[in-house]
Amino acid sequence: MRIQLDTDYQKRMSRKYWRLTRAVFVKCRQQVIDMAEYTDPDRLKARVSSLLDPEPMKKHIIELWGEIGGHVGGDMVQLLDLKKYGKVKYETKAAKTKEWNERMKRYAAERSLKKIEAIMTTEEEAINKVIDMVIDKSLDEGLGIEETRRLLKKDLLGDQMLSIENFQAQRIAMTEVGAAQNTASFLAAKENSEDIKKVWMFIPGMKSFREEHQGFEALGGVSMDYEFAPGLKHPGDVNGSAEQVINCYCSISYEIE
């Protein structure tokens, strides 16, 4: 008997959070944008790290895990109950969804520091790249101080910056939605792991194709504690290496004997 996650739900939520993550990036760099109008590019570049605000992104990631984890965790418990006992053992789905929503928010918050630091470091590099382009253009065209500052603010709000952030937002959305979905289902199944085996489902992504993950699927059903790679018990496992997790579109299903 097989229990499988809704991959269409994962795709819908990835598109939703791709859009939302782009908007969050703008909030994170708002102080940089505001300062650009009054600061020379080289001085602004030295202050980017301190001006970036990580809190909107941290809140965003935690909310993402809460929504996805709440939905999937509640559904998983319900499916397991129905398959194993022929009935749902809790009063309402809304109550179980809320319970898992809060649980997954805590789970994400406890593991957010390193993740948010990495995102902000990448954002700082993107901003500095745009600032360097403005500096080069200002020197080439002999722009004055006021003209350079206007150009700096314009470019920090322009297509170049948005294009870089769009790519980052897509990567974050796909990675985090998949990780939240698979983590919630795994934790729910692990707590009811008697007579349950997990099965890696290989789903090649738009930007990544891991033959190793294809091999994980070929293993078929394995025990719930089995590690496909060091620290990696399921797709998107936060304990796995970045090479195994980032841009991974794989899912996980379960076999009940």
**222 within a domain of the structure (yes/no):** no
**74 within a domain of the structure (yes/no):** yes
The rounded distance, in Å, linking the Cα atoms of 65 and 107 is 8
**234 within a domain of the structure (yes/no):** no
Burial 57-94 (b: 16+ CB within 10 A, else e): bbebbbbbbbbbbbbbbbbbbbbbbeeeeeeeeeeeee
Domain count, the chain: 1
**254 within a domain of the structure (yes/no):** no
**130 within a domain of the structure (yes/no):** yes
Q: Worst-scoring range by mean pLDDT, 38-47, 195-204, 225-234?
A: 195-204
**205 within a domain of the structure (yes/no):** no
Domain that holds residue 89: 8-193
Q: Worst-scoring range by mean pLDDT, 86-100, 123-137, 230-244?
A: 86-100
Q: What does the CA dihedral 151, 157, 158, 162 come to, rounded to 10 degrees?
A: 150
What pLDDT, on a 0 to 100 scale, did the predictor assign at position 90? 61
Read off φ and ψ for residue 22, nearest 5 degrees. -60, -45
pTM of the model: 0.89
Mean pLDDT of 49-74: 95
**Type of residue at 137:** K
Share above pLDDT 90 across residues of the chain, in percent, rounded to a whole number = 67
Res 89 pLDDT > 70: no
**232 within a domain of the structure (yes/no):** no
**61 within a domain of the structure (yes/no):** yes
The rounded distance, in Å, linking the Cα atoms of 223 and 16 is 33
Mean pLDDT of 97-103: 92
Q: Could you give the angle at the alpha carbon of 14 between the alpha carbons of 236 and 224, nearest 5°?
A: 25
